[in-house]
Amino acid sequence: MTLLGLALRDLRARPAQPLLAVLLTALAVALLAALLSFADQFERRMARDAAGVDLVVGAKGSPLQLVLAGVYHLDIPPGNIPLAEVESLRRNRLVAEAIPLALGDSFRGHRIVGAGHEYIALYGGRLAEGTLYEEPMEAVLGAEAARNSGLRRGDRFHGAHGLGEGGHVHEEDSYEVTGVLAPTGTVLDRLILTPVESVWWMHAGHAEDDAAFEASRREVTVALVRYASPVAVALLPRQINAASALQAASPAFEMARLMTLLGAGRDVLAALAGLLLITAGAALAAGLMAALAARRYELAVMRMLGAGRATLFASVLIEAAAIGLAGALAGLVLGHAFLAGLNAWLSSAGQPLVAVWHFAPWELSLPVLALAASLLAGLWPAWQAARSDVAAILARG
Amino acid sequence: MSAPLVSVCGFVHCYPGAGELAVPDFELAEHGRLLLLGPSGSGKSTLLMALAGLLAPSRGSVRIAGEDWRGFSGAAADRRRGRLIGFVPQEPHLIDGLSVADNVRLAPFLAGASQDPARRGEALAILDALGVSECAGRYPHALSRGQQQRVALARAVANRPPLLLADEPTASLDDAACAVALDLLFAAAERVGAGLIVATHDRRVQAHFPRRVALGAPSTPGAAQRQIPVTPAPGAGGGGRGDQ
């Protein structure tokens, strides 16, 4: 027999009020857990995908759109840019590397990206099977793209015009899969990679005449730029934005701006979770007080049997802690079940939006937070239990 | 000569704004029996609480096994109470979440006694002696009232206390049940070698006790303090302080 055992058996004998407190704590913790895990994964993914890219250069338009389209492949690019401009960027002494990407088509929701092998190297991509593409209309699949499309080395597929599903299918030409990449945990996993020439080739068919074909030959969608020196941070974006028809956008700056915008929503949800936790604490305190009223004779008998005030104080606090911890653990499971639901609801083409069982570092402190809240809520009831007038209670019968 | 098990001397308890209770001096030797007899409101339960060390008298002293508990800290008094006093409340007040056996084992646990297997067996032996061993695994809500009272009695003697206090153990019982309840109480006290003090308003009980302390209504503030007699029960023989 232990005080913890006593507390648990007492909770089992009177489960309604404790269950309500567990439920409210679980809801608060679930909301916080889902929020923290989602935000952490989002920020990590954004940071990973933007690693090694100091600047995105593309057509004039929204800089955020340019970054979302060029780095994360989440948005439509604002337009194309002449390849000659990228070539001149490469000659700029402030630029260490400029990787041109040609976008335009997709296959079953996965973007077909025209790029050189250096784009694969940027994300540390390694072949899981087959070889890299060498000729136009050859393609290498990212790990997720391969899994979701079911394509293997040697298979052929037709790209569809546009970056979403439902676009016009290029029936006349097909890509051949030469290899599949191992998972990198980056945006590369979701892409289908091919030489830039493939994209030009595909869209030559849309051109009315040879002049248009030649024009498209000389265009790409964006260039991913890595600075040659820290001085470039201050000089290069200004230089590009002022002196050419191009736009330069910094992924770090644009994503920080996006996070600030999203941060307001996140703060509202966190405040809501905080309110829920306070409500849970109030319900816990009310439940414990109600239980004390019902148990006053039991507690008096316990004192009579030799239990000290400290024992009664501890037994009520242990009950509060048990409720808080049960709520926290249930909340962690519930929060991640919510992420699983979010995946089922929002994922496209079978790609999970988030990893369900990814725990953010701060998330593991949620049980501590719930425990602290429940102990705080249990203090007053515990004090009341400890200072109850046993003689008066027992003398009343 | 060793100190008496219980010694009450010059006991006065003042109720806030509601008069005071004066109790005549009395003593109880080891294994002795004493009846506190008085109507409702006469202060029987208050005196029991003082004997259990849960209430300090306004004046006078209460000594258990020769020691005045007012000298002990709260925690020390709690430990002594767990070890020295068994208490049978008017209502059983068993703990709903614990089985019958665990309700009995609660007493040694809270008193800080060891929980070795022999002790665990002791709980079952006491339940057996009181005729409720078949209820050991059941929960209080599944017991009859009579069974609950026996379990409460088993819990009171689980620590083998030298002093057993019972508050109105026969209230609302018919004559037959009253006799059974008293027999159980005496048997339990005898089994563990405890002295017994029963507080009651039930005059049917007095023939079973060699000595009794009669309590009247508490005096109102300012009135002359009533002297309450300590008398031997009719036919019980003996008198004066300290029955043997």
pLDDT tens digits, one per residue of B160-219: 899 999 998 888 778 888 888 898 899 889 888 899 999 999 888 888 898 888 887 666
Task: State the best of A295, A305, A389 to mutate against chain B, taking most chain B CBs within 10 Å.
Answer: A305
**List of E strands, chain A:** 55-59, 81-82, 95-107, 110-114, 127-130, 138-141, 156-157, 160-161, 175-181, 192-194, 219-220, 222-227, 246-249
Least confident of A95-109, A147-161, A297-311, B58-72: B58-72
pLDDT of the residue at A210: 61
* Chain A residue with minimum CA distance to B47: A395
Question: Mean of the pLDDT values across residues B141-153?
Answer: 90
Give the count of beta carbons closer than 10 Å to the beta carbon of residue B68.
15
Task: Answer whether residue A100 shows pLDDT above 80.
Answer: yes
Report CB contact under 8 Å: B110, A306: yes
Question: Quick check: B232 pLDDT over 60?
Answer: no
Q: Which residues of A touch B115 (CB under 8 A)?
A: 1
Supply the pLDDT for residue A211. Answer: 60
Pick from B202, B210, B195: nearest CA to B181 = B202
Residue A357, token pair as written in the block: 């069982």
Q: For residues A136 and A198, is the Cβ–Cβ distance under 8 A?
A: yes
**Spatial distance between the Cα atoms of A310 and A306, rounded to a whole number of angstroms:** 11
Using the predicted structure, report yes or no on whether residue B227 has a pLDDT greater than 50: no
Q: Considering CB atoms only, which of A305, A391, A397 is closest to B107? A: A305
Domain B6-93+161-232: top CATH class: alpha beta
Give the pLDDT confidence score for residue A138 in this predicted structure: 94
Cβ pair A301:B168 closer than 8 A: no
Query: Under an 8 A CB cutoff, do A397 and B105 touch?
Result: no
Chain A residues with CB under 8 Å of B109 CB are: 1
Rounded Cα–Cα distance for residues A397 and A49 (Å): 72
* The amino acid at B173: L
Structure tokens at B129: 């002696």
B59: β partners: B12
Q: Give contacts of B81 with chain A, Cβ < 8 Å.
A: 304, 306
Which pTM value belongs to this model? Answer: 0.75
Residues β-bridged to residue B63: B7, B68
Is any Cβ of chain A less than 8 angstroms from the Cβ of B14? no
Q: Residue A349 and residue A149: Cα distance in Å, rounded?
A: 8
| Contacting residues of B for A10, CB less than 8 Å apart | 95-97
- The whole-number pLDDT of residue B94 equals 92
Q: Quick one: which of A385, A389, A311, A303 has its CA closest to B52? A: A303
Chain segment B82-129, per-residue pLDDT in tens: 889 999 988 888 998 899 999 998 888 888 876 666 666 777 888 888
Asked if B46's CB is within 8 angstroms of A395's CB, the reply is: yes
pLDDT of amino acid B79:
86
Enumerate residues 6+ apart whose C-beta is below 8 A from B1: none
What confidence tens digit (pLDDT) does each residue in A340-367 have? 988 888 765 555 677 888 888 888 899 9
Supply the pLDDT for residue A128: 93
Is B1's Cβ below 8 Å from some Cβ in A?
no
Using 50, 70 and 90 to split pLDDT, how confident is the model at B236? very low
d(CA A367, CA A328): 5
Residue of B111, B115, B167 lying closest to A305 (CB–CB): B111
Q: Which residues on chain A place their C-beta less than 8 Å from a C-beta of chain B?
A: 1, 6, 9-14, 297-298, 300-311, 390-391, 394-397
- pLDDT digit string, tens, across residues A301-323: 898 888 999 999 999 999 999 99
| Beta-carbon separation of A395 and B79 below 8 A | no
Yes or no, beta carbons of A390 and B83 under 8 Å apart: no
Half-sphere exposure of A44 (CA within 13 A, CB side): 13
- Nearest by CB to B79, which of A14, A298, A306? A306
Residue A348, token pair as written in the block: 């496209």
E strand intervals along chain B:
6-14, 20-23, 26-28, 33-37, 59-64, 67-68, 85-88, 163-167, 195-200, 211-214, 230-232
Highest-pLDDT range among A309-313, A386-390, B67-71, B180-184: A309-313
- Sign, CA dihedral A176-A178-A183-A189, equals negative
* Distant-in-sequence, close-in-space partners of A82: CB < 8 Å, separation ≥ 6: A218, A219
How far apart are the C-alpha atoms of A86 and A381, rounded to whole Å? 71
Domain boundaries, chain A: 3-46+262-395, 55-249
Using CB atoms, which residue from A12, A13, A306 is nearest to B111? A306
Q: How far is A309 from chain B (nearest CA, A)?
A: 8
d(CA A132, CA A177): 9
- Tell me the domain boundaries of chain B: 6-93+161-232
